[in-house]
Structures are given as C-alpha cells and as structure tokens.
Structure 1
Amino acid sequence: MTSLENNIVDKPATDPVDQLILERGLRIKQLFFSVEMDRMLILLTNGNVLNLRLSQYERLKNATSVQLLQYSLIGNGIAVSWDELDEDLSLKGFIKQAALTNAVRQLEVAV
C-alpha cells in the first residue's frame, strides 16, 4: 500500500452518510420488492427500513419480480448488484435518495 493509500484509509469520513457506512458499519441486510406498488424496501442492519420507488431507478422500474429477486449484496452490504439487469446501486445512494424524497415530501406538506 502506498503512502497515498494510507492517507485515504486513515482519513476519517467527513460526509455523515459515509460515517454511517464506513465508521459505524451500517449495511444492507435484505431487499423486498413490490412491483405492483412500485416499491423497494431496504432493510438495514440497524433495523431501519428505506422505502423507495422502483421507478426512481431506470433499470429496476421495468424489471420483473423474478429479476429483482436475483440480486447480490456487494462489499458485505454496502451495495447491491443485479447481474442480469446490469445494475449496481450503493447504500450511500439509497440513503441520499430516501433523505431527498422525505425532504421533498415535508416541503409539499408545508405548502
């Protein structure tokens, strides 16, 4: 490992989402899908669930239930891969999308 790699590895995360994943060990435990309801539920190792629309993801929105179930967790749960769909999505991206969706929903209620 080069000294540059050591600096990257030893540097603490400054992004709060990176801190959750890299320093506190948050991971994806399991995924659940409802094509009919346009939903993907992401069960996390801390017991929380992210609730996202399949239609937010171009390659997932037209996938069958069987294709959606053919996923594998990458990096012990920091990402998900669907080989048949040629799609890889990260836990960080899921968290940011869920936060954005919730923020927009709150703004809509306030108006």
Structure 2
Amino acid sequence: MAWYPRLLNATPAQRANWEPAGGGYGIHWPDLDEDLSAESLLRGAPAIDAA
C-alpha cells in the first residue's frame, strides 16, 4: 500500500468506492482520481505520480 499513496491516505469508504476501468484491466477510484492497472497491482509496481 505504501507504493500507492492516494490509496494509503484514503478513507476506507473512498477505497471501497471503485469501478472497473480500461476494459476490465484496471481499477478506477473516482473519489481519489486514481487509476491502476491490474497488472501493476499484481506485480507490485509503484504508482507513477503524474502531479
């Protein structure tokens, strides 16, 4: 979770509000404006901070 600071710092309710993205190959958290691919999550790849 430390590699995904938006998820780490989110409330449980924000983390629970997710939807499939990218044709089912990713996850989008609308409350957090966060998108992660399932592959990245499974590999444990760090999130890329676009800010």
TM over 0.5: yes
Separation in 1 of the partners of 2:37 and 2:13? 21
Bigger relative contact order, structure 1 or 2 (CA pairs below 8 A, ≥6 apart): 2
Give the TM-score taking structure 2 as reference length: 0.74
Pair 1:84 & 2:3 matched? no
Separation in 1 of the partners of 2:16 and 2:42? 20
Aligned pair partner of 2:4 in 54, 57, 60: 57
Deviating 4+ runs (over 2 angstroms): none
Larger radius of gyration: 1
Q: Higher helix fraction: Structure 1 or Structure 2?
A: 1
Gapped runs of 5+ residues in structure 2?
46-51
Aligned residues: 44
Separation in 2 of the partners of 1:90 and 1:67? 18
Identity percentage of aligned residues: 39
